[in-house]
Amino acid sequence: MVLRRRQSTMLCGLLALCVREVTALRVPAASSTSRSVVSITSALTADLSLELLESLESAGERVVRLGAPLCVDDAGVVVGEATCSLQGIVGWVHVASEFKELVAARRAGATTIWLNEAAAATSGDLNTQGYFGTAIIDDFADAICADASELVDAATAARRARSMRKASAVDTDDNRNSRETDRARTPPAAAVPGGGVAASSVAAEASSNDVRATTKFCIECGAQLPSRAKFCSACGATQ
């Protein structure tokens, strides 16, 4: 009897411990989903001050340190921790100092920040970057900052730019679909049996050719004149 009581007590204790463990695991997951996520590689976070990381946390960002930079393999597939743990998070921002990592983050679906002093100094400067370089940077970087102290504001700016980019893409697709619909609704040119065009179209083109054949334009003022005119009736210039 005493043994059964001891077994019951131990079982209750184990159940209580399991409940506490499950609760402890669920609380961070629930709170983390309500916060934005900024991922940074460990090599880059080593150069960032503790105050900066705390400022990101205070601004509502959950900083995720990645053990290795994001990269793209030979098949064009993004490899790294983000492929399994971050891609499903809405509003995920990745900070990269190398352009190749920036490209990988974009392919993984992240909103991107390029931490590069030289790029920030020449951002939008067509004389320095050229049209091609500017277009490439715009495609892969939602925000550029020269110093890590700008990351808090850069994260907000990057998400705003990404949202506007997506809205613009939707508008472009809608306009394209509208044009295709209008084109489909436009009736074709009137045709006659045998593949020819309607007589009215032939007559209009012939009339236009006749006008061009019997008239010309003054070489000085551009006035329309009879094709045989030797002087312009408007300005008097010799033709």
Which pLDDT tens digits describe the chain residue by residue (239 residues)?
A: 544 555 555 555 544 544 343 333 333 343 444 468 999 988 888 888 888 989 999 999 999 988 888 888 777 677 776 667 788 788 899 999 999 899 999 988 899 999 999 888 887 777 777 777 788 888 899 999 999 999 999 999 999 998 888 887 776 666 666 667 766 666 655 544 554 445 555 455 555 555 455 778 778 777 787 878 777 777 777 77
CA distance 1 to 178: 82
In the chain, the amino acid numbered 33 is T
Q: Which position has the token pair 């209750």?
A: 12
Among positive and negative, which fits the CA dihedral 24, 27, 33, 34? negative
**Residue 144's closest CA among 194, 96, 79, 108?**
96
For residue 183 the two structure tokens come to 């084109």
CB 107 within 8 Å of CB 72: yes
Please tell us whether the domain made up of 17-174 is placed in CATH 2.40.160: no
For residue 139 the two structure tokens come to 């495609």
Q: Which helix (H) or strand (E) holds 62?
A: strand 61-66
Of the chain, the end-to-end C-alpha distance in Å amounts to 129
CA distance 127 to 121: 13
CB 66 within 8 Å of CB 39: yes
CA distance 105 to 141: 10
Domain boundaries, given as residue ranges, for the chain = 17-174, 194-239
CA distance 139 to 107: 11
What's this model's pTM, rounded to 2 decimal places?
A: 0.56
Chain-centre distance for alpha carbon 150: 21
